[in-house]
Amino acid sequence: MILSGEDIKRFGLLRNADEKNMQAQGWDVRVENVYHIVSKPYGEKIKEEDYKEFSLPYGTVPPNTSVLFKLMETVDLRSREGLPCVNALVLPKSSLTRRGVTVHSAWWDAGYVGSGMVLVCTSDTPLRIKPGDSFGQMIFFVGQSTNMLYEGQYQGEGIKKNLDSL
């Protein structure tokens, strides 16, 4: 089952979310910062200091470029009353797809809390974007109850506060 925008709000699955970005079956997410792709071997943990901010000349991602967008929102997929298991995925806004821009996200597992990042690839056309612009829609999927909640190395990424205070 896919959660409605109203359910996303009611269950508090996104923090710092702008209510005008609520959709019927998801929530439009916004870019906070743009980063270079991290060049560390697969399997090595990526730390906050490994991310290098991408300088956006005139607010533009150049053509044929891959970058990471950090979400402005905080995703909270911890279990709660009436919603024991929820996962999420970001899909591109159709307006970006029409411009040849692709958005790739990992599957956010139940139990994950953090701001998260997605991969954005431009085509032969530059992409004008600034912090606060919507670029994708986060969809929340209800799964079967599980005791296997996310506890991986990226738990709490991009969050300056204690997770218990959320």
Q: What is the mean pLDDT of residues 134-146?
A: 89
89-112 in b/e burial notation, b at 16+ Cβ within 10 A?
bbebbeebeeeebebebeebbbbb
Query: Does the structure show a pLDDT above 90 at 105?
Result: yes
Tens digit of pLDDT for each residue in 76-90? 998 888 887 899 999
pLDDT at 91: 96
Tens digit of pLDDT for each residue in 89-98? 999 999 999 9
Q: What is the mean pLDDT of residues 53-65?
A: 86
Q: What is the mean pLDDT of residues 120-144?
A: 93
Q: What is the mean pLDDT of residues 14-25?
A: 96
Query: Does the structure show a pLDDT above 60 at 73?
Result: yes
Contact partners, residue 154, CB within 8 Å, separation at least 6 = 112, 114
Query: Does the structure show a pLDDT above 70 at 155?
Result: no
Could you tell me which residue, 133 or 48, shows the higher pLDDT? 133
Q: Which domains does the chain have, with CATH numbers?
A: 5-40+48-154 (2.70.40.10)
